[in-house]
Structure formats: structure tokens, C-alpha cells
């Protein structure tokens, strides 16, 4: 069955509390991946390394009074890290498809005393309630992969950004090389298990972005900084076969299978975890 926006919403509504429960972090929790880059020695540093990279890009674009939005914000962890570290930022927007995540993020903002500085809303990131050219930076972490029509995301990001503004993405990108049947099996299991119909190649992403006057200025492979947990293929294949036949209907089951499949894909280099940065160019249109 095709993956729909409603299916993605349900996936996160059903799974978010479980993701947080097993993450081991009680407040403003990250539910994205850790990066073990040079100088990173603790789990907290690894969890926030992506946020630190995004913060640096925002500061380079707007050193003061930055106007930013996190599209696909989850429970708000990235904004809770980034926004207070910026110099005199404007109030920020965090948008999530999931009403469960929006409620959790809003509750955390109140607990942290940030409710007047960071606003969370439930909504689709292809229709953001902000004016044209109103932002210095838009970013998304592991979110565009969930888009049923990624081109609509880029159209909206291009509309929101001022000339010279930055779109910052940290996400999965598929290899441009043709897949073997074996590789395709694992890629399909990842797409179906994690509800990520929007995974594209970097080249495909660049083409869609260019149509919205977004020029690629940075393309970093972050995959080497992940700590992969791939299994021997025979064991992983057996677990996938069993998992697909379990009578349990909760969304955590496909999520677990999708996680396992992603690890296999990353190990085989079928999928790469990358940071892409685009700059909004004025073409006089």
C-alpha cells in the first residue's frame, strides 16, 4: 500500500512515547541519531552534535536576531538546544505533523520557560503559516524523508526563506547506483518500516531544490560518524521474515524492522546519512 501523510502521522502518534521511553533522556529529548565526530566523548554530546552543526550554519547566516523554523520538529529537542544559544533570536516555530508530538513539545517549552520564545504547532510542512521571505533559516532533521511529495517541501522552504537564507537538512539519501535484488529488499523494508517515502538521491534532491532557487552549498557525509548496529545478513533476514508475520498490529513492530533494515542499508552504503545546506538565490523572478 502507498504510504500516506495520514499514515506517517499515525506512525508518530503511536510511537513517539515509546521512542522517548527507551531513549533514556527525560526532557527535551532527541529522537534522532547520534554523531560521534572528533572531540565527541559523551552520549549527550553525540545526541546534540547535529544540533550544534545546524546552530553554526544559522549563526553564519544570521549572527543576530535570527528568524528560524524547524519543520518536522518532533518533540522540540533541536529547538530547545539551538534557540537559546543564538544571539537575540526572534521567536521560532516548530512544526510537526503529529498532535502527540506537538503537545509534548509545548509542555516541554512551558517547563523550560521557553513558551514565549518557541511556538509549536501541529501541521504539514508543505503549508507553513508564515509569510513569504520571513525566515533566515529553515531546517529539518530526519523529516523530509517522510514527505509523500518532497517537491512540496522544497517549494515551501523556498517561499519562506529570504534571499541569502539557508535551508539545512540532515537526513537519509539513497545511493545513485542501481540496487541489487538483495539491496532492494533491505531498502524497501526500511522505507515501509519507517514510513519514509521521500528518500531520494542527493542529485534528485538538488534538482528539486534548484527549481525553487535553492542552491546546494554544502554536502557532508555523516555516515562515518554513526555507530552502526548491523546484524549478520542471515540473522537479519530471518528476523525480518518473522517480524513481517507477527500478528501484532502496533506501529512499533514495523518501526523496529525498519530500524534494522536501515542499519543494513547504511552498512551496505545503499543509504547515506548526510547534511545538505542550500542557499536561497535571487534570480529576479
* CATH code, domain with 113: 3.40.50.150
Question: Is the CB of residue 215 less than 8 Å from the CB of residue 281?
Answer: yes
State pLDDT tens for residues 200-247. 999 999 999 999 999 999 999 999 999 999 999 999 999 999 999 888
Query: Mean pLDDT, the chain, as a whole number?
Result: 94
pLDDT reading at 116 higher than 90: yes
In a domain, 187, yes or no: no
Instruction: Please indicate, yes or no, if residue 160 is contained in any of the structural domains.
Output: yes
Please state the domain count of the chain.
1
Tell me the pLDDT tens digit for each residue of 239-267. 999 999 888 777 889 999 999 999 999 99
The confidence score (pLDDT) of residue 198 equals 98
Mean pLDDT of 56-84: 97
The rounded distance, in Å, linking the Cα atoms of 68 and 26 is 25
Does residue 27 have a pLDDT over 90? no
Whether residue 50 lies inside any domain: the answer is yes
* Position 186 in a domain: no
- Whose cell is 554544502? That residue is 218
Indicate the pairing of strand 161-174 with strand 271-280. antiparallel
- pLDDT above 80 (res 23): no
State the DSSP string of 8-75. Answer: HHHHHHHHHHHHHHTTS--SS---S-----TT--SHHHHHHHHHHHHHHHHHHH-SBS--EEEET-TT
Q: Which domain holds residue 18?
A: 5-172+197-227+270-280
Question: Does residue 178 belong to any structural domain of this protein?
Answer: no
Give the C-alpha separation, 252 to 193, whole Å: 9
28 confidence band (pLDDT: 50, 70, 90)? very low
Question: Has residue 77 been placed in a domain?
Answer: yes
Q: Rounded to whole angstroms, how far apart are CA atoms 263 and 56?
A: 28
Within a domain: residue 182? no
pTM for this model (two decimals): 0.95
Closest CA to 256 of 276, 225, 219, 231: 231
Average pLDDT over residues 178-206: 98
Residue 199 CA to residue 60 CA, distance in Å, equals 28
118 in any annotated domain: yes
Amino acid at each position: 500500500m502507498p504510504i500516506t501523510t495520514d499514515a506517517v502521522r499515525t506512525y508518530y502518534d503511536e510511537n513517539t512515547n515509546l521512542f522517548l521511553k527507551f531513549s533514556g533522556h527525560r526532557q527535551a529529548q532527541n529522537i534522532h541519531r547520534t554523531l560521534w565526530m572528533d572531540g565527541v566523548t559523551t552520549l549527550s554530546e553525540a545526541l546534540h552534535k547535529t544540533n550544534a552543526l545546524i546552530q553554526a550554519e544559522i549563526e553564519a547566516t544570521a549572527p543576530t536576531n535570527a528568524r528560524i523554523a524547524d519543520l518536522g520538529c518532533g518533540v522540540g529537542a533541536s529547538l530547545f538546544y539551538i534557540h537559546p544559544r543564538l544571539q537575540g533570536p526572534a521567536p521560532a516555530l516548530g512544526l510537526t505533523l503529529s498532535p502527540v508530538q506537538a503537545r509534548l513539545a509545548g509542555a516541554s517549552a512551558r517547563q523550560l520557560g521557553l513558551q514565549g520564545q518557541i511556538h509549536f504547532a501541529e501541521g504539514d510542512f508543505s503549508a507553513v503559516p508564515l509569510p513569504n521571505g520571513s525566515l533566515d533559516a529553515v531546517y529539518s532533521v530526519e523529516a523530509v524523508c517522510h514527505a509523500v511529495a518532497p517537491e512540496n517541501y522544497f517549494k515551501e522552504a523556498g517561499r519562506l526563506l529570504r534571499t541569502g537564507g539557508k535551508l539545512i537538512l540532515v537526513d537519509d539519501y539513497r545511493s545513485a547506483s542501481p540496487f541489487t535484488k538483495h539491496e532492494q529488499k533491505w531498502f524497501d523494508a526500511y522505507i515501509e518500516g519507517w514510513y519514509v517515502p521521500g528518500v531520494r538521491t542527493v542529485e534528485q534532491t538538488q534538482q528539486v531544490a534548484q527549481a525553487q532557487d535553492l542552491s546546494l552549498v554544502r554536502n557532508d557525509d555523516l555516515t562515518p560518524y554513526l555507530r552502526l548496529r548491523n546484524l549478520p545478513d542471515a540473522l537479519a533476514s530471518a528476523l525480518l521474515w518473522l517480524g513481517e508475520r507477527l500478528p501484532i498490529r502496533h506501529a512499533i513492530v514495523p518501526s523496529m524492522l525498519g530500524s534494522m533494515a536501515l542499519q543494513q542499508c547504511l552498512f551496505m552504503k545503499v543509504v547515506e546519512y548526510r547534511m545538505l545546506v542550500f542557499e536561497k538565490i535571487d534570480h529576479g523572478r
